[in-house]
């Protein structure tokens, strides 16, 4: 009876449903059944490791951890078809969690040896286990980081835990767009508000008027107060959903340089949130730094603000924020700084003789900057009708002044010269197309190196259409170029994760980094390279690694099958690197990428090994796909 019921459940339960029927019947014959009354502790933290994989037949269990402060940290609720115990007997000799029956529960028990043998002999079964396990460990690791943070205050924490619905002003004052400017000013003064939502004849929001609009568009222009307020309103209204976290609103305010944001719920107006609201919520505010940047008119005036950007990273690391959230926020602030430097520089030089676009690449192009890194930038300008002498002179001056200003703001020049100040990297669109075509069609080592760098380009300022036209050309040119893609695939497999055949870390044998491994070269870069290759294969135009991996889901690309797990792995590796560099800065040491595995906690070591195994699997699949082209 047990055998029949177990076989039926196994056939419906991943990863067992991936096995053939004969294997399932063999497992079912060995299964035993165990009953746990409500409240029974099946496993307890730091207790003996599990000897069985338990599949819930009926009932439910709660999985939790006890924190250093003796608080219960809920990890998961499991019910029929879910299983537990694997992490315990794979990780070592103790149980990592508290698992308690929350109602009368019965479980099928599969022997530890049986499961481990399946993981060794069945690749599909093993891959599923690694993926699901990696996801759960990622969530647990971030919760642990969060639990042991050393906060300056609750401000940054609230950005990630409070929704806009919690913070937005619920009573939104509105008025018709047809009232006079004077009447609008009186409504704002009487209600003591800094913005007024204006409605069209159908009662829908058509624009907004703020106190800043009154200063810039009415008082400074000497405008007639009897005029229609709709003529001076801001018609572009940026909105956010009520369920979004405050962090998302912060990003929008920095990106669009706005101070008011409408909060909607299923299309209906629910409230309004201001930059002041978010600044009050925080301690060291990215919004205040963005505002400080926006208010400056000289390069020297930008220096104090640029020096504060690292503080944002430090506060977010202490809060245990995800690496992806940190890099997204830093990207927005750095982009704001870069655009302001360009505006100041243009004001000195006068208007450009031709339309141009300032682009960035490398980690900046992928939106993965953390602590300030080298400059990687270039200029694309439109093809001149006649002589381009004036354009060359102008963009030479622009590039030199820009690169010097960026260095002054803490972004050191690129030692390899991949900057706009190098004449090779400030060219008309046609020249850039020729570069890309030559690199793709003649994939010599130098061409592959430059493709790795420049194909992550992202437009920052100017005529962004120039960059989009170049990207469209890249997508067209790459079609069917399997030899080039094979060379890119070789790069994916070039840097192997530091893990030997026995699952032990491979570290430096001598020198200043003895006993350590390079987490960037041997962990992060293979994922970046795999995501880039896959994006090129299917002509996906995202540049960020995380965005590329999200776009690969269920797509026919080299890393498509592993995209979700690689995204989690990338977040984890970036987090380890960030916290390592932060600790070095705290200790007064120059930040590097060399991790000592002996300084990691058991859970981090386990997750790191599983991450490296995942990367190896992706590298093997990529090599197999392009093997015939590599031989040619």
**Which of 20-24, 131-135, 271-275, 456-460 reaches the highest mean pLDDT?**
456-460
Per the omega criterion (within 30 degrees of 0), is the bond before 297 cis? Answer: no
Reported as a single tens digit per residue, the pLDDT across 525-550 is 999 999 999 999 999 989 999 999 99
Reported confidence tier of residue 418, pLDDT bands at 50, 70, 90: very high
The token pair at 154 is: 């609750």
What pLDDT does 179 receive? 93
The 10 Å Cβ neighbour count of residue 219 is 10
- Cβ within 8 Å of residue 322, ≥6 positions away: 142, 571, 575
Spatial separation of the C-alpha atoms in residues 628 and 632, rounded to whole Å: 7
Q: What is the mean pLDDT of residues 155-160?
A: 52
Whose CA is closest to 281, among 146, 163, 410? 163
Distant-in-sequence, close-in-space partners of 331: CB < 8 Å, separation ≥ 6: 364, 367, 369
* pLDDT confidence of residue 150: 31
Q: For position 397, what pLDDT does the model report?
A: 96
For 568-588, b where at least 16 C-beta lie within 10 A, e where not — what string? bbbbbbbbbbbbbbbeeeeee
The distance from CA 84 to its chain's CA centroid, rounded to whole angstroms, is 30
3-state secondary structure of 85: coil
Residues 6+ apart with CB under 8 A from 495: 521, 522, 525, 526
Residues of the chain with pLDDT > 90, as a percent, come to: 38
71 secondary structure, DSSP code: -
Average pLDDT value over all residues in the chain = 84
Res 139: pLDDT: 53
Between 257 and 38, the more confident residue is 38
In this prediction, residue 452 carries a pLDDT of: 95
| SS3 track for 263-298 | EEECCEEEEEEEHHHHHHHCCCCHHHHHHHHHCCCC
Assess whether pLDDT exceeds 90 at residue 144: no
Ranges assigned E (strand) in 165-211? 174-176, 195-199, 205-210
Of these ranges, 3-7, 214-218, 551-555, the one predicted with the greatest mean pLDDT is 551-555
Write the CB contacts of 253 (distance below 8 Å, at least 6 apart in sequence).
259, 261, 275, 278, 287, 290
Distance CA 408, CA 402 (A): 10
Q: What is the pLDDT of residue 90?
A: 62
User: Burial of 376 by CB count in 10 Å (0-12 exposed, 13-18 middle, 19+ buried)?
Assistant: buried
How far is it, in rounded angstroms, from Cα 471 to Cα 539?
A: 10
- Cα–Cα distance between 402 and 393 in angstroms, integer? 14
Question: Distance between CA 495 and CA 385 in Å, rounded?
Answer: 46
CB burial readout 40-59, b (16+ within 10 A) else e: eebbeeeeebbebbbbbbeb
SS3 call for 196 = strand
Q: Dihedral through CA 193, CA 199, CA 203, CA 205, nearest 10?
A: -80
- Kind of pairing, strands 260-265 and 239-241? parallel
Give the model's confidence band at 622: pLDDT under 50 very low, under 70 low, under 90 confident, else very high: very high
β-partners of residue 176 are 199
Express each pLDDT in 350-396 by its tens digit.
999 999 999 999 999 999 987 767 899 999 999 999 888 999 999 99
Largest CA distance in the chain: 90
Look at residue 142 in the predicted model and tell me its pLDDT: 47
Q: Tokens at residue 493, please?
A: 């497999």
Task: Please give the pLDDT value at position 155.
Answer: 43
Which of 2.40.10.340, 2.60.120.10, 2.60.40.2140, 1.10.150.120 is the CATH number of 2-121? 2.60.120.10
Note the Cα 472 to chain centre separation in Å: 24
**Residue 91 clears pLDDT 90, i.e. is over it:** no
The predicted structure's pLDDT at residue 423: 96
Confidence category of residue 439, pLDDT binned at 50, 70, 90: very high
Residue 632 is predicted with a pLDDT of 53
In sign, the C-alpha dihedral spanning 40, 46, 52, 58 is: positive
Superfamily the domain 162-281 falls into: CBS-domain (3.10.580.10)
DSSP secondary structure of 363-431: HHHTT---S-----EEEEEPPPSS--HHHHHHHHHHHHHHHHHHHHTT-PPPTT--STTSGGGEEEHHH
Query: In the predicted model, what is the mean pLDDT of residues 40-60?
Result: 87
């Amino acid at each position: 009876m047990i055998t029949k019921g177990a076989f039926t459940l196994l056939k419906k339960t991943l990863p067992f449903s991936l096995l053939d029927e004969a294997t399932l019947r063999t497992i079912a014959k060995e299964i035993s059944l165990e009953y746990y009354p409500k409240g029974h502790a099946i496993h307890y933290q730091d207790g003996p490791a599990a000897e069985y994989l338990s599949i819930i037949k009926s009932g439910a269990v709660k999985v939790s951890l006890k924190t250093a402060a003796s608080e219960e940290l809920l990890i998961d609720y499991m019910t029929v078809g879910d299983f537990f115990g694997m992490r315990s007997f794979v990780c070592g000799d103790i149980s990592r969690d508290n698992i308690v029956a929350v109602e009368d529960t019965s479980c099928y028990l599969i022997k530890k040896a049986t499961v481990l043998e399946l993981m060794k002999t069945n690749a599909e079964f093993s891959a599923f286990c690694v993926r699901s396990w990696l996801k759960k460990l990622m969530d647990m690791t971030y919760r642990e980081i969060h639990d042991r943070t050393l906060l300056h205050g609750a401000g940054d924490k609230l950005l990630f835990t409070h929704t806009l619905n919690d913070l937005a002003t619920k009573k939104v004052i509105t008025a018709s767009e047809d009232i006079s400017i004077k009447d609008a000013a009186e409504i704002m003064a009487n209600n003591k508000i800094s913005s007024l939502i204006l409605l069209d004849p159908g009662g829908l929001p058509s624009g907004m008027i703020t106190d800043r609009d009154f200063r810039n568009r009415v008082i400074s222009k000497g405008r007639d107060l009897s005029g229609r307020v709709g003529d001076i309103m801001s018609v572009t209204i940026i909105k956010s959903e009520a369920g979004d976290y405050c962090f998302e609103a912060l990003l929008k305010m920095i990106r669009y340089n706005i101070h008011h944001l409408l909060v909607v719920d299923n299309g209906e107006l629910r409230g309004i949130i201001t930059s002041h609201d978010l600044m009050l919520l925080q301690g060291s505010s990215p919004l205040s730094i963005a505002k400080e940047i926006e208010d400056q008119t000289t390069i020297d005036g930008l220096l104090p603000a640029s020096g504060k950007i690292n503080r944002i990273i430090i506060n977010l690391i202490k809060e245990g924020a995800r690496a992806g959230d940190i890099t997204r926020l830093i990207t927005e602030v750095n982009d704001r700084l870069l655009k302001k430097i360009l505006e100041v520089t243009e004001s000195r030089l006068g208007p450009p003789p031709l339309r141009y676009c300032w682009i960035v690449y490398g980690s900046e192009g992928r939106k993965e900057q953390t602590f300030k890194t080298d400059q990687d930038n270039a200029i694309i300008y439109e093809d001149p009708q006649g002589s381009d002498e004036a354009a060359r002179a102008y963009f030479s001056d622009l590039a030199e002044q820009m690169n010097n200003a960026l260095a002054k703001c803490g972004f050191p020049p690129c030692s390899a010269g991949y900057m706009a100040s190098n004449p090779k990297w400030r060219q008309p669109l046609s020249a850039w197309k020729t570069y890309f075509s030559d690199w793709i069609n003649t994939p010599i080592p130098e061409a592959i190196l430059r493709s790795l760098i420049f194909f992550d380009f992202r437009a920052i300022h100017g005529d962004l259409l120039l960059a989009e036209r170049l990207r469209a050309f890249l997508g067209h040119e790459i079609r069917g170029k399997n030899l080039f893609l094979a060379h890119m695939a070789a790069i994916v497999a070039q840097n192997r994760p530091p893990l030997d055949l026995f699952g032990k870390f491979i570290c430096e044998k001598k020198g200043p980094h003895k006993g350590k491994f390079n987490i960037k070269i041997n962990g992060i870069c293979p994922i970046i390279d795999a995501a880039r290759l896959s994006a090129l294969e299917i002509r996906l135009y995202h540049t960020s690694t995380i965005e590329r991996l999200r776009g690969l889901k269920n797509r026919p690309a080299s890393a498509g099958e592993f995209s979700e797990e690689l995204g989690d792995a990338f977040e984890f590796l970036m987090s380890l690197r960030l916290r390592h560099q932060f600790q070095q800065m705290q200790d007064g040491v120059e930040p590097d990428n060399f991790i000592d595995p002996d300084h990691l906690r058991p859970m981090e070591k386990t997750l790191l090994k599983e991450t490296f195994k995942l990367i190896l699997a992706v590298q093997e699949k990529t090599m197999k796909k392009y093997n015939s082209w590599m031989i040619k």
